[in-house]
Structure 1
């Protein structure tokens, strides 16, 4: 094949990027979609491995893993089509630059650990994690490639059992003929980071032959590190010869959290981690991210002992940016999100301004599920302490019959919550694997910096309105009594609540499909001032009533979900809960009065 050749009548070869144990890799142009891709051609006898890589890769969609698009046949040749990443492999970077600074190695390691945890959560073992399979862009974004491929060809093809992995980075149990496991991936992660710090494999540079490397690997005796300092305890832990004693990804993350205490051995720290740290795979990402915050500070900028939490997060904290209310929640959902489950549709204009809705049509027509990703401020009554400046662990309540919830606190004390529910059918579908995939995607995005900002909305949008300014003390007093405390504002000031004794008045801004023709809302259509509204008594609680008041109706700029209305409305929901009311009619009359006061302060809908 040569530059300009067409593969499968669709992919034009542009440039050969290199040769590997599995075949040649080309940069190509997908003429149908007009995008650059990478094409890997199987060498003789390896077409089955190419197909296997396609099948395994299709099950892992993650920002730090090269995306597999397709596998195609062209005559007798089999080709794998993947995402093209303009990057240099880590082994080439080490070859050109020599040993890397530990802070940079940690940045790379954080992303590799994130990718590895996502792979393991899907029940997959990579089996060949090494610097050559780690792509690093100019701005240090990491992509793990060659997913699930056995690479014995780089050592020998004769004699003994087949080895899985490359000798320079293989775990001792593999060198001794054992099976590849998640623990052996963790060893290879440590060996890869070792190479980045030391400039060579822990089993030597290979100059004395692969069998010398194999002998060291089988004995579990890596060459002592010479350049590693603060990372040394972590490398020792990841490359523990006994896989049973080797930390999982989660335990390794906890070890990272404590590695600023140089007088403690890694074994002591690991015992503490196993006792106290998060023991789930997703938690590994969280703690690694938390470590990243402190690690990237200049040396000497912090004492060696942990400082007490402060009321203000450090300026380089991971979070929603300087103006959290402008963060785009849909920016936390990658384009490839949920592709392994079916076809996903992301809607940025349903529910609150800090909400992104992901509707998934599951494969084989088995139903539909919906996930709501919501950005909020800190919880009023958190179930666990919130530490400013520290990324919190992923909270994983048990799956309920019809919902699965996942959340984590950001170092700026804001919070990301994701709730997945069944929308249509899908009775046999487990919700938590979907929620897990989305929350890991969101976490990966925020680890790489503040999310993008939301598109600018019209000047008359509720986005610009402070809900707490729509009701004053006199209004609240007429509705349900004199407030006993100052109002409490929601995230972005898009909601507010007042309390008076046992009663509560609240306001919330949402975006919904037109409420007037939709009888499912219940209640009745009324006018509040000059605006359309629905007055809805709570059928289950006779002391609560809601007035949904239309602020403005508009057509979204993006296409809407199939079989849904083309119009959206910005709505102010005024909710009154008054246990002292004699009957529902009284509660709703007071709710309507409060809504009228709110409408008088709303901006002109235009």
Structure 2
């Protein structure tokens, strides 16, 4: 642990928790923890990997094709599936925490704010994560879940393709209002409709409209165009409540008139 954090109990707990998580996730989508002799200081070591994070690549001007983003997301989902099977939620999936080595192998970094009920760390992190990649419900004090990890991955894929965020950039301590995410194909016309549908489902404002598990989202990406995910049509009353109520009122009046006519005729 850095000397500047030596007296920080939360930082010490995060460090211990991260080592604990990494030792329990047996997956090549995470860094390997190195075996160490007796320690006199609070630290742990992971294997060093050449390469760069996806954020580093974005900052260097890397242009990601839809095929590349699908491949990357599939690999992340396989790692998340392994994590979620252990009842661990990452809570900070973003391009800066996704590392790719020269051989193309992807690893998920930074489990310092991850959460597992067995090792309860809720009190240590009032609102962990990076705002622009955080699911809407987290801003209302909801607990992180596998679906909020999938949201963060969807937002990451969206950002890799468009360099934008589904609901715009969100600053720390901001209380954002979430409308409807802009279709990424507006910025990148080369995004196929099926991939756009997957991304929009992943970043849906309502958790109930997202993928339930990493495996479900993985299947949607692996099937791709062969068995495309159909986009759910938003009901008019959800898209435009003010515009829907006149139609509801008109239908109600017509129904009442019809019932009155039937009663008078009989």
TM-score normalised according to structure 1 size: 0.33
Aligned to 2:34, what secondary structure does the other structure show? strand
Q: Which structure 1 segments of 5+ residues have no match? A: 1-22, 25-39, 152-160, 269-606
Q: Of Structure 1 and Structure 2, which has the larger fraction of its residues in helix?
A: 2
8 Å Cα contact 1:72/1:78 also seen in 2: no
Residues 326-341 of structure 1 mapped to structure 2, 5 A cutoff:
none
Q: Of Structure 1 and Structure 2, which has the larger fraction of its residues in strand?
A: 1
Alpha-carbon displacement from aligned partner over 1:156-208 (angstroms, at most 9, x marks no partner): xxxxx9112111211111122100111111111111111211124334345xx
Residues 507-526 of structure 1 mapped to structure 2, 5 A cutoff:
none
Identify the residue that residue 137 of structure 2 maps to in structure 1.
Answer: 173
Is 1:130–2:130 an aligned residue pair? no
Is 1:183–2:147 an aligned residue pair? yes
Identify the residue that residue 34 of structure 2 maps to in structure 1.
Answer: 69
Q: Which structure 2 segments of 5+ residues have no match? A: 116-124, 234-266
Matches of 1:135 and 1:178 in 2, distance apart? Answer: 28
**Structure showing greater relative contact order (alpha-carbon pairs closer than 8 Å, 6 or more residues apart):** 2
Matches of 1:202 and 1:72 in 2, distance apart? Answer: 46
Is 1:229–2:191 an aligned residue pair? yes
- Rg larger in structure: 1
Matches of 1:116 and 1:41 in 2, distance apart? Answer: 32
8 Å Cα contact 1:53/1:146 also seen in 2: yes
Residues 181-580 of structure 1 mapped to structure 2, 5 A cutoff:
181-205=145-169, 209-212=171-174, 214-216=175-177, 219=178, 221-225=180-184, 226-227=187-188, 229-230=191-192, 231-247=195-211, 248-260=213-225, 265-267=230-232
Matches of 1:68 and 1:93 in 2, distance apart? Answer: 25
Identify the residue that residue 70 of structure 2 maps to in structure 1.
Answer: 106
The one of 5, 10, 19 aligned to 1:54 = 19
Cα root mean square deviation, aligned: 3.1
8 Å Cα contact 2:78/2:218 also seen in 1: no
Matches of 1:104 and 1:179 in 2, distance apart? Answer: 32
Matched residues, number: 216
Matches of 2:60 and 2:159 in 1, distance apart? Answer: 13
Matches of 1:104 and 1:42 in 2, distance apart? Answer: 38
Cα distance 1:86–1:262, how it changes in 2: closer, same or farther (>3 A)? same
Identify the residue that residue 85 of structure 1 maps to in structure 2.
Answer: 49
Q: CA deviation at 1:114?
A: 0.8
Aligned to 2:44, what secondary structure does the other structure show? strand
8 Å Cα contact 1:171/1:187 also seen in 2: yes
